[in-house]
Structure 1
C-alpha cells in the first residue's frame, strides 16, 4: 500500500514514550511528515516503519541534533518524561538552535517552570490535563471537553431536557443558561451549525461553548 502524501511542514518529535508515540502517530494520521528521535535502539527499531523517519540519537547532544538538521524544523516536541534533566537539555538545545515552536511535556509544575524559563514556547501537562478532562466526562451529559485558559470551554454533549424537541429560538440557551449551542449532529446525518430554527432532538449530539461553570450546570441541570 502506498504511503499517504504528507502535507505541511514536518515536525520533530523527541522521545518515543507513550506520549511521543501517540503524538507522532496522530501527526502521521494528519498527513504530516514526522522525524521521530529516541536514544533507545529497541524503540527505534520497533517504530521504524510507523513514522516518516525514525532515528536513533541522543538529543541531549547538540551536535547530534545538528546532524539531524533540527534547526531546519519550525516545530519540535519534547516528549521525554522519565528524566527532567534530559527533558530540559533537549528543550534547551532546540531553543538554542532557533526552532520556532518548541513544545515540551512536563511532569510537574516545577518541571514546567524550568521549561518555560529556558524558552519553550508551549508546555504540556498531559496527565494533569487528562485528569481534568476525565473529571468532566465521568458523570453527566458531557462526551468531550476542551478548556481554554480563561475558563472558556467547548464541549460535546447529549442535549439536556431543556433543549429536547425545541428549536434554538424556542429554548434560547444563550439567554436562559448563558451558553451558546454551536452545532448539532443527528444520528446518520451531517453536522450542522446551529441556526435559530434548528431543532434539537433527544438522540442528537450538540456542541456547546461558554464559561466552564455555566456549561457544567447546563449539562447536569438544564
Structure 2
C-alpha cells in the first residue's frame, strides 16, 4: 500500500549526518519523496532502505552532481557541517542548477554569510536554535516553544496557580500579562479553542501566543 502523502513533492537532501538525516526522515514521514546524496558509502547504504533514493556521490563535484539532476527539485537541503568548503561548493552547485528554495546548515556566522552571498535562500543554525528552545523549556513550565523573528512566540505551557479554577474571563490574563490564550488541552481530550468562559484546571495545558518576553513573565509565575 502506498504511503499517504501530505506533501506530494520530491525534495533533495545532501549530507545524511545527524542534522540531514533528521530532516530527511521527518520529511519522509510527512510524505515528501526524499532523494538524498551522501558521500559515505556505508551511510548511504543504511538510508537506501528508508528513503526514495540515495546516491553515494561527491556533491561538491559538478559532474557527479549531474547524476542527481538537482535542477529538477524545487527544494534542496544541505546538511553538510563538517566541511565549510564542502558545504559552500555543494550549495554553489545547487544555485547553479537553479534550485528555487535552498536550505543550508551553517556552523558559524562567517559560514552563514558566505552561504547567503552565493545565493542560498535559507540559512539555519540548528545547534543555536535547539539551544535557544532548551533554555525556555528547562524550567518545566513550558512543554513547547516556537519563537518568530519579531520576538513573537507560541508556547504550550502549564497554567500558573492564579488561573486554576477560574475562567479566562475571570483571570483576565490578556489584560494583566498582554498575551492571548489560544486554546486549551487536557489529557485524553480534544484540543479546544479558548473562549471567555473556558475554565482552567490544574491538568490543562495552555496554548499561549504573544511577545516572548511577556509569555516568559507568565510562565515564571508559580
TM-score exceeds 0.5: yes
Q: Unaligned regions of 5+ residues in structure 2, if any?
A: none
Structure-2 residue corresponding to 1:85: 85
Partner of 2:65: 65
The whole-number CA distance in structure 2 between the counterparts of 1:99 and 1:34 is 15
Whole-angstrom CA distance in 2 between matches of 1:9 and 1:79: 19
Match of 2:169 in 1: 169
Residue 42 (structure 2) pairs with residue 45 (structure 1): no
| 1:65 CA displacement | 2.2
Partner SS for 1:155? strand
User: Are 1:140 and 1:219, in contact at CA under 8 Å, matched by a contact in 2?
Assistant: no
* Residue of structure 1 in register with 2:186 after alignment: 186
Runs of 4+ in 1 over 4 A off after TM superposition: none
Structure 1 partner of 2:76:
76
Cα distance between partner residues in 2 of 1:21 and 1:104: 13
Please list, as runs of the form range in 1=range in 2, the aligned pairs for 1:124-203 lying within 5 A after superposition. Answer: 124-203=124-203
Question: How far off its partner does 1:196 sit?
Answer: 1.5
Q: Is the 8 A contact 1:140 1:220 kept in 2?
A: no
Task: Find the residue that maps to 1:22 and give its secondary structure.
Answer: helix
1:63 deviates by 2.4
Distance 2:194 2:150 in 1: 24
CA distance in 2, matches of 1:8, 1:195: 36
Aligned length: 221
Task: State the Cα RMSD in Å.
Answer: 1.2
Q: TM-score, normalised by structure 1?
A: 0.96
Determine the C-alpha separation between the residues in 2 that align with 1:4 and 1:140.
Answer: 37
TM-score (norm 2): 0.96
* Structure 1 match to 2:3: 4
Unaligned runs of 5+ in 1: none
SS class of match (2:3): coil
**What is the distance in 2 between the residues matched to 1:63 and 1:114?**
23
How many angstroms does 1:150 deviate by? 0.7
